[in-house]
A and B are shown apart, each in its own frame.
Chain A
């Protein structure tokens, strides 16, 4: 029975640890495995850019306190199979699809921006690899914006990230050129973006003075260690508007109204 239900998981565990989970007890500990949240979308799954629909886990997500295995499948199916076929038609029917080509001003602008970033990364010719920055940032996030957070820790992370980002753009070492497949360059572009994402995650966690869902602030817990919600003040979706690198993002509150089923304290007891 266990083999039928959990066979692939047990096999994965055996490969990683070299221990047979059918014979010896499994060593399990909780860990962050997912960046919750995503791009803001309306009820039709359209982002704030007209015609740009964001589905699956790229949007700000349907999962609750815990994002379990197969959540990606669930949301991909829910959005792609059930929601989008009923909403995108309206846009397609009403939008005027003008013919555009690569000569369009927006295309030129995007191209110039990508070239500029690529050039900057390749020409930094610093001393540290992309991976070393990725690891440093990951460790900081694990430590201060992980499964449990404090205002103090988040403020510390927020003070470190801009420094790290500045160092990244000055001291990163990306070998090769932009003319062929260059995995270091690809990774550098992504890690460059992670600084903004990391900063936003810390800011959002600091702003939310309660423990709720996947967000556990150590200051806000019940005497027996459960998450202490504060629905009077924080029953909203925090949609942050990007205002450019280094500029504080703008918070838009989207109130959550529960008519029939009301949020309640989580308890595993």
Chain B
């Protein structure tokens, strides 16, 4: 089938960008979206043109590298799916698709569809971790975790940090991402000692990165390829309030 693409082309961060029209005449329905872009790029290279830059790595939906806006929706029209896992069978002959990079102040465009998401790395470095003593393995049953908590923590840990939530949010808020990390660690016993410090540090970093605030719109949840729920933001807000109460004064515990 034939697909018409309008792709945002931008040589570098400081250069102006524009939409450029391309046609991919022979798209196989079994191709993934990225494979279609590969075909386009092979064609552009053969013609001596600059191929479209786009991020990708594992191509099985677990690394979080890929993603762009497809007709205004992060990762395209299929819910719960990264761009690499979106296959062309979901489109039809003659479809016109508009591809743009993630749009957010905190994610500057590097080139074409590639954006710099190192703001997420700095959020993690600010608080998205637990401090542990390494060296010897703790006994498997020494720390008890209720099954329900383990499951909820695991669900939050499914976040791959792709940035779709930020891209889709009208406020460019990183709340779903931060909430996922805070819920992942905060629901487990190992996450308790640094619980207050973690949420305060991540919130402060998010402000420095110029991510917006959450106004409970829910676009993030709608496009999240890993099904992270809005409840993680509620959990984050609760942690934030609590940390302001107990954390800043150096008090420990509730």
Contacts and interface: CB of A to CB of B under 8 A. Distances in A.
Interface of A: 8, 11-12, 15-16, 18, 80-82, 85-86, 129, 131-132, 173, 175-176, 180-181, 183-184
B89 interface: yes
22 contacts: A11-B80, A12-B60, A12-B61, A12-B85, A15-B85, A15-B86, A18-B30, A18-B87, A18-B89, A82-B135, A82-B137, A85-B134, A129-B45, A129-B46, A131-B41, A132-B42, A175-B44, A175-B45, A175-B49, A180-B11, A180-B111, A181-B110
Contacts of A132: 42
B26 interface: no
Interface of A is mostly: helix
B224 to A, nearest CB: 14
Contacts of B137: 81-82
Interface in B1-55: 11-12, 30, 32, 38, 41-42, 44-46, 48-51, 53
Given A180-B12, A181-B114, A183-B53, A131 B38 contact: yes
B64 to A, nearest CB: 14
A252 B14 CA distance: 52
Contacts of B136: 82
Q: Which 3 A-B pairs have the closest CB atoms?
A: A85-B134, A15-B85, A181-B111
A13 B56 CA distance: 19
B175 interface: no
Interface in B128-145: 134-137
B81 interface: yes
A175 B51 CA distance: 8
B48 A175 contact: yes
Nearest to A80: B134
Interface residues of B, number: 31
A58 to B, nearest CB: 16
B30 to A, nearest CB: 8
A173 B45 contact: yes
A181 B11 CA distance: 9
A11 B61 CA distance: 10
Contacts of A176: 50
Given A175-B51, A183-B51, A131 B85 contact: no
A14 B194 CA distance: 40
Nearest to B46: A129
Contacts of B50: 175-176
B42 A129 contact: yes
- Max chain B Cβ within 10 angstroms of own Cβ: one of A16, A82, A86: A16
Contacts of A173: 45
B85 A16 contact: yes
B164 to A, nearest CB: 16
Given A175-B49, A181-B53, 9 more contacts: A12-B85, A15-B81, A15-B87, A16-B85, A129-B45, A175-B48, A176-B50, A180-B12, A183-B51
B182 to A, nearest CB: 22
A103 B42 CA distance: 40
